[in-house]
Amino acid sequence: MKVLISTDIEGVAGVYHPEQVRAGNPEYERARLLMAHEANAAIAGAFDAGATEVLVNDSHGGFRNMPPDVLDARARVVQGKPRYLSMVAGVEEGVDAVCMVGYHSRAQGRGILAHTINSFAFASISLGGQELGEAGLYGALAGEYGVPVVMSSGDDVFIAENRPLFPHATFVETKKATGCNSGVSLSPEQSRRAIRAGVEEALAARSRSKPLVFEGPQTVTLRTQSPALADLFCQWPAFERLDGVTLRFTAETVEAAVRMLNCCSAMSSMLR
């Protein structure tokens, strides 16, 4: 059994504030270790369940947060950007299941540090009229490779948003959101124990989980955070401007849609 663990930081126990998720300050240096230790808990849970190979994908920001020498040596580590499959890079290696650790609710949601891909650029992203956050987008991308999401961890708002997309997955609640930058968290030790047990449970029951599949060409509706960003993205001829901040485009696959969105995310740095 080959397992991919995609690890973000905003859903990690004890993480609440933007300073904790942005490189260049002491708060981030502590948070990146909390992230790595939750990844290690998931790796341990996968091997407890009988995994023969585990890949752990560093899925936050610049994709090089977790110190490799801190991570469980049994896993291979996917780090650095750009990469075509972004938060689920590694799924193309023939994995059997995806676990999402430290994830967060979508843009404009009420979860802790809620956003979708790029908090500066994107106010909402919908595929076929269904608004999705990162778990939904990348779960659907994994689904195109025939791989189900079997486990996710994060705050209670993230879980409520994504349980309908992954009804048979195991969810681990690391904290309850009381605001964008506040909540009530498990201790790091409690969170790691719960993640390890959750991954083991999810992989033991992985036959229940089915890949999230969005059939056919994808109509993507994107709301930007400002008209200036919409101006910028509509330099791309594939985009149709619907109003001041709303754009639409069609992509043949979820993978193509995600790659286009990530290109827009990179373009947005021109306006920061």
Question: For residue 10, what pLDDT is reported?
Answer: 98
Whose CA is closest to 100, among 23, 189, 17, 12? 12
* pLDDT tens digits, 59-70: 999 999 999 999
* pLDDT tens digits, 171-220: 999 999 999 999 999 999 999 999 999 999 999 999 999 999 999 899 99
Question: For residue 14, what pLDDT is reported?
Answer: 98
Measured distance CA(214)–CA(79) in Å, rounded: 27
Question: For residue 107, what pLDDT is reported?
Answer: 98
**CATH domain 2-116+133-208 topology:** Rossmann fold (3.40.50)
* pLDDT tens digits, 43-54: 999 999 999 999
Residue type present at position 14: G
Question: For residue 163, what pLDDT is reported?
Answer: 98
Question: For residue 108, what pLDDT is reported?
Answer: 95
**Longest pairwise C-alpha distance within the chain:** 52
DSSP conformation class of 214: -
Locate 154 and state its tokens: 């994060």
Counting Cβ atoms within 10 Å, is residue 215 exposed (0-12), middle (13-18) or buried (19+)? exposed
* pLDDT tens digits, 208-252: 999 999 998 999 999 999 999 999 999 999 999 999 999 999 999
Query: Is the torsion defined by CA of 220, 221, 226, 231 positive or negative?
Result: positive
Domain boundaries along the sequence of the chain: 2-116+133-208, 218-271
Contact 59, 5 (CB under 8 A): no
Contact 252, 215 (CB under 8 A): no
Counting Cβ atoms within 10 Å, is residue 179 exposed (0-12), middle (13-18) or buried (19+)? exposed
* pLDDT tens digits, 75-120: 999 999 999 999 999 999 999 999 999 999 999 999 999 999 999 9
